[in-house]
């Protein structure tokens, strides 16, 4: 069974801190790994990673994939209260069967002023 595990499940830090969120996976026919940010409603897309070792960056957020060790990390530097959200990791597989994403449970990040 395909599995995506995120850690920690929740995290409380102060504004200005740097956080690292983890996502490990066990899937057959890995195609890509996606990170989403979910505030009150629908998830919004952050990154998609397909190649190992190549960092994707967007402002204070960055992410990298390790296909050998089967994990990804999402880094947020100089955190702000607006970064408070649930961060979801999802893995997309190729081949037959469901063509959707397998999601982890998410990391609930709270940034305190």
Q: How many binding residues for another protein (CB under 8 A)?
A: 23
Q: How far is the CB of 82 from another protein (least distance, A)?
A: 19
Inter-residue contact 38 to 45 (CB < 8 Å) = no
Site string for another protein, 74-113 (x = CB under 8 A): --------------x-x-x-----xxxxxxxxx-------
Q: Residue 90: phi, psi to the nearest 5?
A: -140, 145
7, two tokens: 């850690």
Inter-residue contact 67 to 52 (CB < 8 Å) = yes
Residues contributing to the site for another protein (CB under 8 A): 4, 6, 32, 34, 41-45, 48, 50, 88, 90, 92, 98-106
């Amino acid at each position: 069974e395909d599995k995506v595990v995120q850690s920690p499940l929740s995290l409380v830090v102060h504004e200005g801190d740097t956080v690292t969120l983890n996502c490990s996976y066990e899937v057959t026919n890995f195609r890509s790994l996606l990170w989403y940010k979910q505030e009150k409603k629908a998830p919004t897309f952050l990154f998609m990673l397909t190649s190992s070792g190549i960092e994707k960056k967007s402002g204070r957020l960055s992410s990298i994939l390790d296909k050998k060790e089967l994990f990804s990390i999402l880094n947020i530097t100089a955190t702000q209260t607006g970064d408070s959200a649930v961060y979801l990791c999802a893995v997309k597989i190729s081949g037959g069967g469901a063509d959707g994403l397998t999601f982890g449970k998410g990391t609930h990040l709270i940034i305190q002023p």
